[in-house]
Amino acid sequence: MKAHTRETQATMTPEKALQYLKEGNQRFQNNLKANRNLLEQVNDTSEGQFPFATILSCIDSRVSAELVFDQGLGDIFSIRIAGNFVNEDILGSMEFACKLAGTKLLVVLGHTSCGAVKGACDHARLGNLTALINKIEPAVEAVKEPADESLRNSKNLEFVDKVAEKNVHLTIGNIRKDSPVLTEMETKGEIKVVGAMYDVSNGEVIFYD
């Protein structure tokens, strides 16, 4: 499989880009990698890159977007931060990726058993991590069940995963609220913004589209 070119990127639509990721995740789950010569892709992309998707995901070592979607060099922009939330710098990166570099799909990818989300559920406090946890805690507050405080912590994995899902949706809301550039592109149909959840137990990505 060749690296994307200006021509192949130009033929891409948001819907087609989403389908590419879904098909890539199916290959990943079935351990059927696309046939790629990565060194050849290094050469093919040496003078330019034409990715079709931008993916915001967690730094978790089990959730490499290139691997779980079976993509090669030059295929996707990968933005990673613990808890997959957005700030001004990340939004700027997304605007570059979509408006200037031409990606057609923006994915916010959460995952099950997320350590950052567990920290938010427990209201962890540690150095600079405290500020990061604060950005995820609105998702904890937005999940109303269970009401029993003794069950609203990292030991309750069902609660943790509900918070992780809510965090994805809140992040998408923040993208639309804080980036007029991306919101305008989405309104015009130039890009699609979707949420997704990766299951660390089986490798499956569920899209919220």
pLDDT tens-digit readout, 102-123: 999 999 999 999 999 999 999 9
Tell me how far CA of residue 40 lies from CA of 69, 123, 134, in angstroms: 20, 47, 43
In terms of Cα–Cα distance, which of 49, 57, 54 is closest to 94?
Answer: 54
Establish whether 169 is an annotated binding residue.
no
- Here the tokens at position 29 are 């789950």
Q: Is the dihedral of CA 164, 153, 82, 175 positive or negative?
A: positive
- Mean pLDDT on 14-28: 97
pLDDT at 2: 83
pLDDT band at 209 (very low <50, low <70, confident <90, very high): confident
Q: Please state, in angstroms and rounded to a whole number, the distance separating the CA atoms of residues 142 and 4.
A: 40
Number of C-beta neighbours around residue 128 at 10 A: 7
Number of C-beta neighbours around residue 134 at 10 A: 12
At position 27, the amino acid (one-letter code) is R
pLDDT above 90 (res 127): yes
Q: Please state, in angstroms and rounded to a whole number, the distance separating the CA atoms of residues 20 and 69.
A: 8
- In CATH terms, the fold of domain 6-208 is Beta-carbonic Anhydrase; Chain A (3.40.1050)
Establish whether 123 is an annotated binding residue.
no
- Mean pLDDT on 88-95: 98
pLDDT at 135: 97
Can you tell me whether residue 111 is helix, strand or coil? strand
Angle at 139 between CA 22 and CA 78, to 5 degrees: 40
Establish whether 148 is an annotated binding residue.
no
pLDDT band at 93 (very low <50, low <70, confident <90, very high): very high
Q: Which residue has the tokens 């040496």?
A: 46
Can you tell me whether residue 206 is helix, strand or coil? strand
In the chain, where the domains are located: 6-208
Dihedral, 26, 27, 28, 31 alpha carbons, nearest 10: 130
Q: Please state, in angstroms and rounded to a whole number, the distance separating the CA atoms of residues 26 and 203.
A: 9
pLDDT in tens, 149-188: 999 999 999 999 999 999 999 999 999 999 999 999 999 9
In terms of Cα–Cα distance, which of 179, 176, 169 is closest to 209?
Answer: 169
Establish whether 60 is an annotated binding residue.
yes
pLDDT at 182: 98
